[in-house]
Structure 1
């Protein structure tokens, strides 16, 4: 009976050690999962930061080129305004003389549809 009791004690101790090992394994597994999750979050954050940086760089490139187009259009507009102003100044006197000549030179004529009834 004593040997049976001793065998049962050994089995209980073995079962207790096995339960401790399983508990330790579960704790290690939980710890490793938590660590893996933190590593994944770090990688995700790093990837997100990299993509945001690339996006900002591309956006700056596109908007920068739009700004260049805007300044180019502004320059062309100023050139056209200067050209029209120069053309206006050079042709103003001639046009005014021509208009005055047309309005001041009157040649009275009877209209072709006028019939004199006598």
Structure 2
């Protein structure tokens, strides 16, 4: 009977070792999965940054830099405002004179719909 209980003890120990190996294998698997996810996230981030850089270079080639466009628009705006100020200065007196003529030159007459 002692061999039988010794055999049972050996089976229990073997089962315990097998369980420990399975647990260790599961932990290793989880660790490898976590590491793979981190590596994939880093690779995705690197790819994303590279594509963003390529896009910005392409955009700059096609559209030109934004600062150039902004400077051009600002210069055109300043030029147009200067032209408008000059035009206002030249035509201001004439416009005021014309408005005053229209306001003060009233021709009173009876409306067509008025019945006598």
TM-score computed with the length of structure 1 as normaliser: 0.63
| Equivalent in 37, 60, 72 of residue 51 of structure 1 | 37
Higher relative contact order (CA 8 A, sep 6+): 2
Please give the alpha-carbon distance, in whole angstroms, between the structure 1 residues aligned to 2:2 and 2:85. Answer: 116
Q: Deviations over 1:4-45 (max 9, x none)?
A: xxxxxxxxxxx1111101111110111121012112211210
Q: Could you tell me how far apart the structure 2 residues matched to 1:58 and 1:19 are? A: 58
Q: Which runs of 5+ in 2 are unaligned?
A: 110-116
Q: Per the alignment, in what secondary structure is the counterpart of residue 109 of structure 1? A: helix
List aligned pairs for 1:20-59, cutoff 5 A.
Answer: 20-59=6-45
Q: Which runs of 5+ in 1 are unaligned?
A: 1-14
TM-score w.r.t. length of structure 2: 0.64
**1:89 equivalenced with 2:39 (yes/no):** no
How many residues are matched? 102
Structural RMSD (CA): 3.3
